Amino acid sequence: MATRDDILVELGLTPTWRRREAVAAPLARLVADVAPQVLREPRPATSPPPAQDAETRSARIASLSWDDFAADVDACTACGLCRTRNKAVPGVGDTNAGWLFVGEAPGAEEDARGEPFVGQAGRLLDNMLAALGMARGRNVYIANVLKCRPPNNRAPEPSESGACRPYLERQVELLRPKLIVALGKSAASLLLDTDATIASLRGRVHQYRGVPLVVTYHPAYLLRNLPDKAKAWEDMLLARRTVATSVGKMTSIPPPVA
């Protein structure tokens, strides 16, 4: 007579149970092998290393060479913009240039490419340079006050400009340009330490640590305010006259005023 087990085998319903140890033993071995390692091995660090104090950081940046400069900016976490940038934008151009153009901050295209003034505003700047017989990369260096893009292209916060300032100061020192052109309010305010309007600052030659400085409108502003292009052109001509009458590149730049 068929037993109960025979019937279950016939119906394909076995096995109906399994010894618990058969399943538990491999699992127990796995836990025994892996758990001590998990407990021993330190978790990878998820938070950035502690920030250097501002003085130590400024001193380190003040000793950077051109070779180290871009990598240092790329690794910078001194302000919150490091968390939202795609690429840092250190600057671009001839590192022996006589002309230094300083804008505000990278926009979306600059943030994607890691190069300043590559969008529509950049094309306008290139056209202005061409009209003066110049080109980016040929006796021209282009940088921004901020090396990382502020979200939604908002204006730089004072804390961000302050944190990024040592980089611009180092660029001026390395370059020792014959002339600085401040493009827009952020650059003029930072370099001249003033809150005055562009309209009141343009049309004359200022000084930044002994380097002649001309203020003009930011190309992005000019794209929205075409009548002011004529004024910007006057500023470029003033800049060219200033370079023509300057004696040459400075041999040293005085330290920043504390």
Under 8 Å CB-to-CB from 207, ≥6 apart: which residues? 213
Contacts of residue 39, defined as CB under 8 A and 6 or more positions apart, other chains included, come to none
Q: In the complex with ligand SF4, which residue's Cβ is closer, 151 or 203?
A: 151
Considering only residues 17-76, where is the footprint of ligand SF4 by CB under 6 A? Answer: 73, 76
Interface residue with ligand SF4 among 64, 79, 190, 191 (CB under 6 A) is: 79
Scan residues 199-258 and list those touching ligand SF4 (CB under 6 A): none
Q: In whole angstroms, give the CA distance from residue 165 to residue 89.
A: 14
Residue 104 or 235: the one with the smaller Cβ distance to ligand SF4 is 104
Token couple for 212: 């002649």
Which residue from 102, 128, 148, 238 is in contact with ligand SF4, where contact means CB under 6 A?
Answer: 148
- Under rule CB under 6 A, which residues in 158-177 are in contact with ligand SF4? 160, 163-164
Instruction: Name the segment binding ligand SF4 (CB under 6 A); options: 78-86, 168-176, 188-196, 207-215.
Output: 78-86
- Give me 202's structure tokens: 């343009």
Nearer to ligand SF4, 87 or 206 (CB): 87
Residue among 61, 64, 78, 214 that touches ligand SF4 (CB under 6 A): 78
d(CA 90, CA 76): 11
Quote the least distance from Cβ 169 to ligand SF4, whole Å: 12
Please say which residue, 139 or 189, places its beta carbon nearer to ligand SF4. Answer: 189
Shortest distance (Å) from residue 249 CB to ligand SF4: 26
Q: Which residue has the tokens 């400069």?
A: 69
Q: x-or-dash pattern for ligand SF4, window 93-132, by CB under 6 A?
A: ----------------------------------------
Binding site for ligand SF4 (CB under 6 A): 73, 76-79, 81-82, 88, 146-148, 160, 163-164
